[in-house]
Amino acid sequence: MKMVIPGWVSLHPVVERALKNGRPLVALESAVFSHGLPPSPARDLARDLTEAVWAVGATPACIAVRSGRAEVGIGASDLEFLFAPGVMKLAARDLAVAVAQRRSGGTTVAGTLAVAHACGIRVMSTGGIGGVHLGAGAAGDVSADLPALAEHPLVVVCAGPKAVCDPRRTMEMLDTLGVTVVGYGTSMLPGFLAQSAGVPVPHRVDDPSGLAAIAEAKRRIGDRAALLVAQPPPSGAALDARELDRAVSLALERAAEAGVEGTDLTPYLLATLAEVTGGRSVAANVAVLVANARLAAEIAVAIASGRPSSA
Ligand code: PSU
Ligand code: MN
């Protein structure tokens, strides 16, 4: 299939070649670098993520907006601009503003999906998706990740909704939006940094080829929503669910007191979690991101091989 790449998007040469030759690609979001983690783990993480994807035989395509252009396939050593003051956090609704005003930003799951879909990339990876937020301070806050998952038919690998979301309401919303949710090796929705969020997932699949088969079937059916693959955190890295809940409650209280809302809320909560857990949430988040990038690469390879099992 011939893709027409939009004029506001620049493909890096490795990504362009992989797309042209039908080789497996994994889109990586960049809001996690600009807004999700402190700069020092973020710098190392970018390298670890791209290496994890290459190691499985897929091409990493980190997506961010630099001076008004969406760049697809930015190298890990080329992300310094994401740590500059004033860099934007770009959901889909913000892309046009960044493009028009030639600004730079890290793309959230929603923003990354919009760009990846426009390029014909079929798989992306993140840590935790945004969802329906918990807490009174976040009155009615629902992440733009959810409607974006309804609009872009990619495979999205995550560890469930971020710990600052209500898992039950997030699952209900995904259901309403027609997003296919599959647990990878689990029948329970993972809790981002904890093994389980205590809510079941509608389907369970245990191998990447089984996930590739569902992605292919969605394409044949003409299903335009994403396949959301939820993989629990690697066992050694997960936080205790009760400890995480306590840290989240404290973070929500602080956000309400400080009056933080909207797009600033998730970064504020993640930073507070890091402080409250003495940095252990950051270590767990990094482990989750690397494991998810690896699985995303395995799925991309299985899709590209064109021989997914019917498992
Ligand atoms: N996953 C992480 N850390 C993050 C995010 C995801 O492990 O920082 C980012 C993603 O970019 C996600 C965004 O799309 O948080 C959701 O933000 P909000 O809740 O404001 O939609
Ligand atoms: Mn929000």
Catalytic, 151? Answer no
Q: Specify the pLDDT at position 39.
A: 87
Options 29, 89, 218, 298, the catalytic residue:
29
Residues (pLDDT < 70) of the chain are: 1-2, 135-139, 307-311
C-beta of 29 in contact with ligand 1 (< 6 A): yes
Q: Specify the pLDDT at position 262.
A: 87
Q: Specify the pLDDT at position 216.
A: 97
Radius of gyration of the chain (CA): 18
Q: Specify the pLDDT at position 134.
A: 85
CA distance 88 to 104: 6
Q: Specify the pLDDT at position 307.
A: 55
* CA 149 to ligand 2 centroid distance, Å: 15
* CA 58 to ligand 2 centroid distance, Å: 31
Q: Specify the pLDDT at position 141.
A: 87
Neighbours of ion ligand 2 (CB under 5 A): 141, 143
Catalytic, 162? Answer yes
Residue with tokens 């270590």: 283
What angle separates helix 280-305 from helix 39-56, to the nearest 10 degrees?
20
Residue with tokens 């960049």: 30
Whether pTM > 0.85 for this model: the answer is yes
* CA 1 to ligand 1 centroid distance, Å: 31
Exposed (0-12), middle (13-18) or buried (19+): which is 32, by Cβ within 10 Å? buried
